[in-house]
Amino acid sequence: MRGSHGWAEVSRERKRDIIEAIVANKPTRGPVHAELDLTDRCNVACYFCNQQDLRTKDSIPLPRLTDLIDELAEGGLKSVRLSGGGDPLFHRDVLNVMDHLASRNVIIDNVTTNGVALTNDVATRLVNGKAREVIFSLNAVDAADYARMMQVKPALFDKVLANIRNLVAARGDSIYPSIVVQFLIDRKNVNRIVDMYELGRSLHPDRIAINAVLEIPFERIDRSVILHLEDNLVAEPQIEEILRRDKEERLLQIDFPYPQWNEMLQRTRDRVGTVPHNNFPVAKSFKGENGGCFFAWYSAAITGNGDIRPCCLLLNPTVKPLGNVNDKPKFADHWNGPEFQLMRDEMREVLLMKSRKPYTPQRFKILKEQCVAPHMCYLKTMYFQGDEEFYAELDTALTKMREKEIRYVFGNNTKRKRAIELYVQEHPRAKRAWDWFRENTRPARVFLKQRLGVDLTDAV
């Protein structure tokens, strides 16, 4: 069993509610899955931490958390991810939170943690509560690398290793929780990839994730430490070696943020004669045109200072929160409020337009480019795209919705505009012609707008 962003816990009926709410352009009765970032405080200080620009010293106090969990559970919450702006296990009442979630039958779908505070008590609750997945962000390959990356005393590295072994032992033969050990590579440890794999393997996890340190907003990371394209020459022979070693084990989950690195990975896989083992399946009924994000009907992320955000990938300072759980007595006031509705309007438009609506900040007040353009955000489909029945039903619903709401004839201005825009986006020649038209016929467009009220000025 592995984390599914909560999808494995959602009933057929609830999935239909989501589809119906998309079509009707209304809220569902509440999130089915939530990311609860219990605290913004952390017990280490990773140089690369992508949360540092949002970091406060706040935690959601236990009484607010229990009220919130109660309200969300009554609205049908089935699972949570515990991750964070800080480390979720560093919340002083984390054991009580876990107990409260269990008392409301809310499954812990995922815990993402540095593992420093994964004590015996936490391990017991994770195993007994059948938590689906624990990701240990070990990141470093040895104590010295740990001290460099996490900016703490090197001895903490051994403590984390002991905590990983302890959880593996506490789990015994159970499949819960699935355990992932994550490493992050940068220029200082890129020559240690084989050691990372061996260390990971010695800990007996279900998966070993090897990722790259990524840039974060505001250029906080010294760019000379982040991988450069040419570092793949150093990485390639090591990756070949670990792919060989992993042929039987099938533990590796490896993917890079750079196309050239992924090409190198594919070449190396072909040489070794292996395929990615830990990819998520794709259902026959899944179509790219229906692969828009539906989080606004499904999920929410609540951070340590109470801010509500669309998801864990939009936890950055360029994204305005959708509200704060401390501002209104009920979470439902946010879920049914104007900010969430605006996000739903924007996501619905993307779904309606087959993910072909071009992104501009003027058109999208809440969504970012990765939410609108296809293939830029893995999270919007990765966990769901294997669901044959859901995507078949969504396809039927969206097809009907498009027939009604995208029309050249018998349509109002909005429907006509959508029809023209979609046609242009789906036909490269028409798009080129349209670009030429836009470039060269401004007076004609102004005429159309002023005399006939047909506004084509932002149709592409």
Ligand X SMILES: C[S@@+](CC[C@H](N)C(=O)[O-])C[C@H]1O[C@@H](n2cnc3c(N)ncnc32)[C@H](O)[C@@H]1O
175 interacts with ligand SF4 by CB under 6 A = no
Buried b (16+ CB within 10 A) or exposed e, 126-143: bbebebbbbbbbbbbbbe
216 interface partner picked from ligand SF4, ligand X, none, CB below 5 to 8 A per type? ligand X
CB of 151 vs ligand SF4, minimal distance in Å: 8
Q: Which residue, 265 or 304, is less far from ligand SF4 as judged by CB?
A: 304
305 interacts with ligand SF4 by CB under 6 A = no
177 interacts with ligand SF4 by CB under 6 A = no
311 interacts with ligand SF4 by CB under 6 A = yes
379 interface partner picked from ligand X, ligand SF4, none, CB below 5 to 8 A per type? ligand SF4
Please give the residues from 371 up to 410 whose contact with ligand SF4 meets the rule CB under 6 A: 371, 377, 379-380
CA 166-171-174 angle, 5° bins = 165
CB of 211 vs ligand SF4, minimal distance in Å: 12
Q: Which stretch binds ligand SF4 (CB under 6 A): 43-51, 202-210, 256-264, 394-402?
A: 43-51
Q: Which stretch binds ligand SF4 (CB under 6 A): 22-30, 185-193, 311-319, 441-449?
A: 311-319
256 interface partner picked from ligand X, ligand SF4, none, CB below 5 to 8 A per type? none
CB of 43 vs ligand SF4, minimal distance in Å: 7
44 interacts with ligand SF4 by CB under 6 A = yes
Provide the 10 A C-beta neighbour count for residue 362. 7
**Binding site residues, ligand X, CB under 6 A:** 42, 48-51, 83-84, 87, 112-114, 137, 139, 182, 184, 211, 213-214, 216
45 interacts with ligand SF4 by CB under 6 A = yes
CB of 262 vs ligand SF4, minimal distance in Å: 19
CB of 367 vs ligand X, minimal distance in Å: 22
Side chain identity at 401, as an amino acid letter? M
Q: Which stretch binds ligand SF4 (CB under 6 A): 1-9, 82-90, 174-182, 437-445?
A: 82-90
291 interacts with ligand SF4 by CB under 6 A = no
Distance, first Cα to last Cα, the chain: 44
CB of 279 vs ligand X, minimal distance in Å: 19
Write the binding mask 97 to 116 for ligand SF4: x where contact by CB under 6 A, - elsewhere: -----------------x--
Binding site for ligand SF4 (CB under 6 A): 42, 44-46, 49, 51, 84, 86-87, 114, 137, 293, 295, 310-311, 313-314, 370-371, 377, 379-380
